[in-house]
Structure 1
Amino acid sequence: MDAFPLPRHAVPTPALLLDRAALMRNIAAMAAFAEAQGVELRPHAKTHKSAEIARRQIAAGAVGICCAKLAEAEALAEGGVGDIHLTSSVVAPGAIHRLAGLNRRIALSTVVDHPDNARALGAGIDGLTVFIDVDPGSHRTGVTSAAAAVELAQVIAATGTLKLGGVQFYCGSHQHIQSLAERRAAIVERTDYLRAVLDALRAAGFYVPIVTGAGTGTFAIDASLGVFTELQVGSYIFLDREYLDCELAGPRFEPALFVDATVVSANTPGMVTIDAGLKAFATDAGAPVVLGGAPAGSRYAFTGDEHGALFGDDLPGLGARVTLMPPHCDPTVNLYDRYQLLDGDNVVEAWPVTARGRST
């Protein structure tokens, strides 16, 4: 067991480091924004997968959290989180049985986007709250028209066992549109469509108490349009290179998540090798950014499972420490067992990544 505090340079690498003060400032800033806008906050735990962080978000004012997968929700419930919304459908019979067990233990809701799934949930679980997942145009999940939403609401009502909690609408493909003006125009257009779906449901006699969705790239726009009652923001607690590339609106958040690595080979002019490669960073969003330990302008490249390369001038020598920013925080976190909590230049605590690998 580690003895804390531990000097940052003594932590074995690659290490997932979390600036505790920056994290708490980000949590507080989003909570204050939601309160000022009169909307509820339900942060998405697929970003951090941590019961420690989820409990702090709830303590700061969040009504609960979101999870992407049932196993994530089970892990965080075991960690003391008592109000969870599942943002992906639960379809397999075995998973529905697990969902029923979790529904007996915590305040739980999930989404549906198909009448057959609603019937299966209604037959297997009494008293479950469900949300109609509405496709924003990406065709990943969700009903694809207002008429389909009404039909699904009718099936939910006919089960006699399910409760319609509201509608979920997540414009995932819009979150990283870099131009704020272009992102806003796209969200305004999609919100007009969402209004049409809500109008159809209400005209058919259905009460829609909660409209949940949004994300770190669009939450301020979504709040200003007055349709969402609940924000499912996730990456704001950490930020990453993808979001720093965007022109964001609303409160300012700060990077809080980093990976420290060590130079393990320095034999080629203009290049050194570090011990953080494909197993240390998600690769879907390009290369990480060099933040410290090497000159400005140094460039990272993946060179293998265990290794990466830094290119540039006056690079650090053998054994030197380098700090990098993940390009995409969510899947990077899922590569690590724990966060090392930073307070200045010391690691003062370690938090487990509670739901790491919980993908079922």
Structure 2
Amino acid sequence: MTHDRNASFPGNAEAKGVIPTLDGKKEVASLEKGSTVLGTKVLSGVSLPAAIIRDEALTHNLAWMQAFAERHGAELAPHGKTTMTPVLFERQLAQGAWGITLATAVQCQAAAAHGVTRLLMANQLVGEANMAIVASLIADGVDFYCVVDSAENVAQLDGFFAARGLTLQVLIEFGVPGGRCGCRSAEEVLALAEVIHEAPALALAGLEGYEGVVEAVDPAQGVRRYADTLVEVARTLHEQGRFTVAAPLVTASGSAWYDVIAESFHAAKLTGRLTPVLRPGCYVVHDHGLYREAQAAVLARRGDLTSALEPALEVLAQVQSLPEPGLAIVALGKRDIGYDHLPFPLRRYREGGTANQILSTEGWTLTKLMDQHAFVQLPRDTQDVAIGDIIAFSVSHPCLTFDKWRQLLLVDEALDVKACLSTCF
């Protein structure tokens, strides 16, 4: 089987294949004519490199984070920018997610086109072209939210949506000094709420924040202080009658500090007044680097958690050259995998072998990554490596690997393909 990261979906008519998804629906993917995807063995029938998602780990992660949110009395709105994969959105929603978080109007448009009906754009909506996209979504019945942090943006949005007879639900963003967007103080938030109150086309629907930009000598304590302040400001807005929706939101949480945010929301006993919403995204496939480290910190803070998220995303590639002792060149590059943290070899297989026939990568180190080539240093006494050997590589920060692929392969424990998942970046 071949897969084309650069082909648009659904692909040309001669090359179409119908791929069953796990909910019984059909997804059209661009395939080589005459190929069969379902049941194809990754180690013998797939053009590599390929990005794979291990379904057992994915299923575990979906249930784990949904249960975590529910135990803390919070809703879950996973950040969809991580994957931009509609089938994964469907699975997150089917697991019980309140909605999907996204970062841009175009991402929201793509998610809505695939059936997502509640969207939280955790970003300011600026530019009339982007406003027009959102206006179309609202007119089509999408339950849409975005954030604001300035009177100027409020005026722009109010004018645009009033002219179209639409109401835009907004959350005030509460930021931190030195961070990115957001009002810098509670006083600024309360003043902006007054401005929104005078904007007839806007409905103040909650308070939003992002703790990942908090800087403190004790990061965990700094995030706790920020979360507690976010809750107090939301309560003040509620007491002043500034919210104009029945169940206003208070929302934060990326993929590193979700436990601290959840604890603060839960301790505040917001149920009945405010709707707490968590927004982690990377949990869905987790990783072997940045977020594995973050998860270790979560487990250290929370001794009551008896299980952890599991890495589900890997990129498989083949040894293409053994030009000198101690060096393997693998057909993997910056076009195939994220590289803010260099990947490392997880396992090795012989082409045509099976998933339980694992060869050693002990002492193997990826030292350099080019556009299409990876330099892997081997122990000098390595004897059993062969051209064509398949290496499974780790992923760190999954967002920056997903966006390199138009298709990812969902595989079972035998590395047989269960489905081909299209992205919509």
Whether the TM-score (by the shorter chain) exceeds 0.5 is yes
Match of 1:164 among 198, 204, 207: 204
When the two structures are superposed, what TM-score results if normalisation uses the length of structure 2? 0.78
Query: Which residue identity is paired with 2:109?
Result: E
When the two structures are superposed, what TM-score results if normalisation uses the length of structure 1? 0.91
Query: Which residue identity is paired with 1:159?
Result: A
Residues in 1 aligned to 2:394 and 2:178: alpha-carbon distance in whole angstroms: 29
Match of 1:270 among 326, 335, 342: 326
SS at 1:159 equivalent: coil
User: Does structure 2 conserve the Cα–Cα contact (< 8 Å) formed by 1:264 and 1:274?
Assistant: yes
Spell out the pairing of 1:246-285 with structure 2 (5 A cutoff).
Answer: 246=294, 247-249=297-299, 250=305, 252-284=308-340
SS at 2:53 equivalent: strand
Q: State the partner residue of 1:107.
A: 143
Q: How far did residue 189 of structure 1 move? A: 2.2
Residues in 2 aligned to 1:16 and 1:303: alpha-carbon distance in whole angstroms: 17
User: Does structure 1 conserve the Cα–Cα contact (< 8 Å) formed by 2:321 and 2:329?
Assistant: yes
Q: How far did residue 193 of structure 1 move? A: 3.2
Residues in 2 aligned to 1:210 and 1:244: alpha-carbon distance in whole angstroms: 29
Q: State the partner residue of 1:119.
A: 155
Q: How far did residue 296 of structure 1 move? A: 2.3
Query: Which residue identity is paired with 2:321?
Result: S
User: Does structure 2 conserve the Cα–Cα contact (< 8 Å) formed by 1:50 and 1:353?
Assistant: yes
CA RMSD across the alignment:
2.1
Q: Which runs of 5+ in 1 are unaligned?
A: none
Q: How far did residue 161 of structure 1 move? A: 1.4
- Pair 1:25–1:333, CA change in 2 (3 A): same
Q: How far did residue 69 of structure 1 move? A: 1.2
User: Does structure 2 conserve the Cα–Cα contact (< 8 Å) formed by 1:145 and 1:197?
Assistant: no
Q: State the partner residue of 2:47.
A: 12
Q: Deviations over 1:155-188 (max 9, x none)?
A: 211111111110111112369x9xxx94422211
Q: How far did residue 149 of structure 1 move? A: 0.8
Q: How far did residue 302 of structure 1 move? A: 2.9
Q: State the partner residue of 1:209.
A: 248
Q: State the partner residue of 2:16.
A: none
Q: State the partner residue of 1:300.
A: 366
Residues in 1 aligned to 2:395 and 2:145: alpha-carbon distance in whole angstroms: 31
Q: State the partner residue of 1:346.
A: 416
Residues in 1 aligned to 2:259 and 2:219: alpha-carbon distance in whole angstroms: 11
Q: State the partner residue of 1:218.
A: 257
User: Does structure 1 conserve the Cα–Cα contact (< 8 Å) formed by 2:347 and 2:392?
Assistant: yes
Residues in 2 aligned to 1:8 and 1:171: alpha-carbon distance in whole angstroms: 39
Match of 2:292 among 239, 244, 251: 244
Q: How far did residue 340 of structure 1 move? A: 0.5
Q: How far did residue 198 of structure 1 move? A: 2.9
SS at 1:130 equivalent: strand
Q: Deviations over 1:226-265 (max 9, x none)?
A: 2581100111111121011232235511000000011111
Q: State the partner residue of 2:7.
A: none
Q: State the partner residue of 2:22.
A: none
Q: How far did residue 138 of structure 1 move? A: 4.3
SS at 2:283 equivalent: helix
Q: State the partner residue of 1:235.
A: 282
Query: Which residue identity is paired with 2:134?
Result: L
Q: How far did residue 350 of structure 1 move? A: 0.3
SS at 2:260 equivalent: helix
Query: Which residue identity is paired with 1:231?
Result: L
User: Does structure 2 conserve the Cα–Cα contact (< 8 Å) formed by 1:27 and 1:237?
Assistant: yes
SS at 1:291 equivalent: strand
Residues in 2 aligned to 1:137 and 1:317: alpha-carbon distance in whole angstroms: 54
- Pair 1:252–1:136, CA change in 2 (3 A): farther
Q: Deviations over 1:279-309 (max 9, x none)?
A: 112222x201211115223111334211111
1:291 aligns with 2:346: yes
Structure of larger gyration radius: 2
Q: What percent of counterpart residues are identical? A: 27
Q: Which moved more, 1:214-223 or 1:292-301?
A: 292-301
Q: How far did residue 202 of structure 1 move? A: 4.2
1:54 aligns with 2:79: no
How many aligned residue pairs are there? 350
Q: State the partner residue of 2:180.
A: 140
1:186 aligns with 2:241: no
